[in-house]
Amino acid sequence: MSESNQPYVIFTFVAGMLLTVCVAVLAVFIASQRPNVVIVPSGGGAPASGAPSVTGGTLSAGAPAGSLALEDEPLPEGPPTLRVAKAQTLPMADDPFDPRWDAAVSVMIPVQAQNVTEPMLSNVTIREVELRALHDGQTIAWRVAWDAEQPADRVESAQFSDGVALQFPLVEDAPFMMGAVGQPVRILHWKAVWQHDVDHGFADVQDLYPNMWYDLYWFTEGDRPYTVNGAFDDPRAAPWFIAQQAGNPMANLDRSVPVEEAVAEGFGSLTTLPESHARARGAWRSGRWAVTFFRPIGLGDELSQLLAPGRTTSVALAVWNGSDQNVGARKHHSLWIPVEVQP
């Protein structure tokens, strides 16, 4: 080895040591961020007999039946597995509060403020969400529920939507935060604002401001208040609906589902898929949101293969409190939760 190479070798050695230390610190950090999982049996008491999803009332290896907070116990090997049991009939797709959901085991999943990438969430307002899942061989159904004092489902400047998203890794080891380049994740994202559109019609200007007066919209048809769906059908009016013209999925004036399917390969890369196979419905009742996601199993696409009976995968959740300016990366999220879709 020549003299001139020595500084380089020393540098490489030092850099290598630094890297090792960093990786070690990161590993400890990740381990300490592991979610504490609380298992609650169905019906608030003993497992309902005959409920296929709760046999034994356990979700995780070694976790005893009954309501149990693992916080004070030695941590298990990893987060308990969510077993998606097979049911004869699924709860109603359009009623997130269908009592049939009680038959499914619920997993309480702690969520935390997104503080890995900017913009971060500074204020934690949601601490946990309740997740249940069932399938009937045809369709896999999820229900997420969490406390929300008020629903945030209106569109305005500086106002944001409540929402919840389920994320699945399309390749093993995809990072739990939006995947990474070459390690895509698939996301089902429900938004309260979209639910409001579906339930009550697209939120128009006069829905927010009934007395709004405006002198001039170009090429309108009919009369005031010139509803956005109906009065602007003249193609010459289209240029003022730029995002809609550009095909922006946010600007869908004729929304029929409150959920989008999207892929991501890292922060800022979320891309809505042209077609959403999922159906969803959210309802807010007495200080609580419940949102269901239903998706066919036999589609043959990547996600339905991933969630086919007998498969194991993971799910991560994100939840937004619109009343507290949660939007985009300003969200609460979980880590990966192992999922086992029972045959």
Partner 1 sequence: MPKRFNWQLGRDMEYTYDGPPPARQVAYIFDTNKCIACQTCTVACKTCWTSGKGQEHIFWNNVETKPYGGYPVGWDLKLLEQSDPAQWRDGKLTSLTIFETDGAGKPPRGHRPVPDDYATPNLGEDDVTGLAELGQYFGDTHPMWMFYLARICNHCDHPACVAACPRKAVYKRPEDGIVLVDQERCRGYQECVKACPYKKVFYNIINRASEKCIGCYPRVEQGEVAFCVETCIGKIRMHGFLTTDGEPREDNPLDYIIKVRKLALPLYSQHGTGPNVYYIPPVHVPDGFLEQLFGPGVEASKQLYRNLGSDKKLLGALLLFGASNRILTRFEIQGEEAVGWDVDGQEVARVPFVEPIHHRPHYDDRYDVYRHNTA
Q: Is 181 in the site for partner 1 (CB under 8 A)?
A: no
Q: Which is nearer to partner 1, 13 or 217 (CB)?
A: 217
Q: Which is nearer to partner 1, 83 or 331 (CB)?
A: 331
CA distance 314 to 169: 7
The one among 16, 43, 119, 230 contacting partner 1 by CB under 8 A? 119
CA distance 135 to 142: 9
CA distance 328 to 273: 17
At its nearest, how many Å lie between partner 1 and the CB of residue 247?
6
The site that binds partner 1 (CB under 8 A) totals a number of residues, namely: 42
Beta strands (DSSP E) in the chain are 38-40, 68-69, 82-86, 106-110, 112-113, 128-135, 139-147, 163-169, 185-191, 259-264, 271-272, 279-285, 288-296, 312-320, 332-333, 337-341
Nearest to 315 by CA among 67, 30, 111, 40: 111
Q: What is the 3-state secondary structure (H, E, C) of 213-228?
A: CCCCCCCCCCCCCCCC
Q: Is 275 in the site for partner 1 (CB under 8 A)?
A: no
CB 205 within 8 Å of CB 156: no
Q: Is 208 in the site for partner 1 (CB under 8 A)?
A: yes
Q: Could you say which DSSP state residue 75 is in? A: P
Instruction: Spell out, one character per residue from 231 to 270, where the chain touches partner 1: x when CB under 8 A holds, - when not.
Output: -x----x-xxxxxxxxxx-xx-x-------------xx-x
The one among 228, 259, 306, 341 contacting partner 1 by CB under 8 A? 228
Binding region for partner 1 (CB under 8 A) out of 98-106, 180-188, 224-232, 293-301 = 224-232
At its nearest, how many Å lie between partner 1 and the CB of residue 115?
12
Q: Is 118 in the site for partner 1 (CB under 8 A)?
A: yes
CA distance 228 to 226: 6
Q: Which is nearer to partner 1, 97 or 267 (CB)?
A: 267
CA distance 164 to 93: 17
Q: Which is nearer to partner 1, 27 or 250 (CB)?
A: 250
CA distance 156 to 221: 25
Instruction: Spell out, one character per residue from 313 to 342, where the chain touches partner 1: x when CB under 8 A holds, - when not.
Output: ------------x-xxx-------------
At its nearest, how many Å lie between partner 1 and the CB of residue 314?
24
Q: Is 212 in the site for partner 1 (CB under 8 A)?
A: yes
CB 86 within 8 Å of CB 309: yes
Q: Is 226 in the site for partner 1 (CB under 8 A)?
A: yes
Applying the rule CB under 8 A, the residues between 143 and 162 that interact with partner 1 are: 155-160
Element (H, E) at 207: helix 205-208
State the residues that interact with partner 1 by CB under 8 A: 117-119, 155-160, 203-205, 208, 212, 214, 216-218, 226, 228, 232, 237, 239-248, 250-251, 253, 267-268, 270, 325, 327-329
